[in-house]
Every structure is written in C-alpha cells, then in structure tokens.
Amino acid sequence: MVEKEKRAEAEKLIDALFLGHITNYEYDDRFPRSERDPALRAIYEALWFIYSDVREHRLNPQKLKARDEETLVRIQLFLRSDDEYTGPRKFTDLLAIPKRVWCWVTRRPQPSVPEFWPFENESQFRNARLNLHRCRKIPLPPTISRRDPDGTFRAADSSVEIVSGSPCYRHLIASGVA
C-alpha cells in the first residue's frame, strides 16, 4: 500500500540529508517507518550504504558519486509516484560477506539490485518520469548537456527538461552541474 504522506516526508528528509541540511543522525531518527508501504523500509536500508553512520556529520553534496546521485534521483522519483514497491525488501544481511565470497569461489554471478531500482523495470521508470508534475519529463543528471537562459536544463538527446525546484534540479545545483 502506498502511503503518500510518509513518502513525501521521506523525500524531504533524503533531500535534506544529501544536501547537507541535516545530520545523518537526524535523518535516522526522523525517517518515516511503515509496515504497510515496504518501499520506505527498502529505501531506508538501501541508502544506508551511501552514507556513514559511524559518527554524526553532515554530508557534502560535492562528494556524492555519480551513480549514487542517479540512485537518489530514481528514489525521489519513485517516492513521488503511486507505484507499489515490488523489489527486494531487505538490503542489510549479516551473511552478505560470506555469500559474496561463496559466489566468487563458485564463480556464480553476484546478486545485484536491478538497474532501475526502486522501480520494477525500465517501463515503470519511464512512465513515472512522464507522469511526474503533469507530464513534465525529468532526466537523470548524467544526461544533462546545457542550461538554457530561462534556467531549464536540456538533455543532449531531446528537449527533456528538469523542472526548477524539483529534487533533480536541487541535486544538480548542489553538485555544481548547474
């Protein structure tokens, strides 16, 4: 079941954490929990791998890796969608290291998170992009090629735009792309 209010709260907290407005401990304490919307727990656990929880600190958006920024944008897009979460429900596992070693020894492929996670597939991801903000399209940051005088970002391959004030826009500003 999609809990829109809790998803909106989670999106704001993720923005605040990765823009350095709140500490990692504040984020942990305030992140919404839900038994009815499994997306919230999965996203919370998945993001744990992007920041350190060893000590309290604020993140520096300039140090965010491109792949992590892409994940954040997809997460925020998913949180704004009405899509039910069907992906992995647990990302932390005490047996993760032994399982990786076993895969390496037996030459089996390592389990991985789907490319469009938290979306189920590329189609669901593309539909969410098209439906966001009354059908305004929002690309992932690496596809950005230039910024128009009116402040709209344009993609190299089409006339896709990023809406000013959206999470994608704020991450571009914070990462120095804009």
Among 101, 21, 117, CA closest to 67:
117
Q: Is residue 43 part of a domain?
A: yes
Taking the alpha carbons of 56, 62, 67, 71 in that order, is the dihedral positive or negative? positive
Considering its fold, how many domains does the chain have in total? 1
Domain range for residue 98? 4-135
Spans in the chain with pLDDT lower than 70: 91-97, 109-114, 132-178
pLDDT of 26-40, one tens digit each?
A: 999 999 999 899 999
Could you tell me which residues come within 8 angstroms of residue 157 by beta carbon, excluding any fewer than 6 positions away? Answer: 143
Q: Is residue 174 part of a domain?
A: no
- pTM, two decimals, is 0.66
Q: Is residue 107 part of a domain?
A: yes
Bridge partner residues of 161 (DSSP): 154
* pLDDT of amino acid 30: 95
CB atoms within 10 A of CB 138: 24
Cα separation, 126 vs 135, whole angstroms: 11
Q: Is residue 166 part of a domain?
A: no
